[in-house]
Amino acid sequence: MHIRKTPPPRRDFVTPEDSIIAACRAMNASGLNQGTSGNISLRQGDGMLITPTSLAYDRMEPADLVTVGPDGRASGERRPSSEWRFHHDILRHRPDVNAVVHAHPVHATALALHGRGIPAVHYMVAIAGGADIRCAPYARFGTQGLSDVALAALEGRTACLLAHHGIIALGRTLEQALWLAEEIEVLARMYLTSLQLGEPPRLSDDEIEGVRTAMRGYAQV
């Protein structure tokens, strides 16, 4: 007699909400961020899905994520992150981007406290799209002014530092944006360490462009 085997339980696809929550928790577990100071968004149609303000990541549930429409209006059970403006503006102006990660990693933020970006001291600077990783001028958190300077610093780039604040990393996917944020922090740590011996030499613009060309075959770049 043929006995029908019970099919394995159906596994639902991971939702955008689940992905954001997992990325937030990974960001803090890795030391890339502390507390609720960071925020993450994902493109959703003409708008975006973003983390709420002032909610610990280990308490965050899918229903806590906030939808912000193309007109900047939020809907959901909670208020969006105070930094929703630059997330909204980046996704509106950058069709090549679907995810935005903002964090306060120690070494990159240490450079940003001095208003310094990361020059071409290591070839991996090219992963952000050019010969340096710029630092945007200071503007108060949550303001349109911060969004404006961030957009300018991200022109032709997928990452920037924010003076006296932190970093922004962009990606076609959330995994790519988180990976880039982690790489930026590593570069910042190397640069800060090298400064103990003096200002390190730079790679030329031509070399960085050659590195970018060589990197185009890799999945993350």
- From the list 70, 86, 67, the residue with the least C-alpha distance to 143 is 86
DSSP element (H, E) containing 25? helix 16-29
The sign of the CA dihedral 181, 183, 184, 186 is positive
Residue with tokens 């103990």: 196
- Spatial separation of the C-alpha atoms in residues 199 and 119, rounded to whole Å: 10
Catalytic residues, by residue number, are 83
Q: Are 85 and 143 in contact (CB under 8 A)?
A: yes
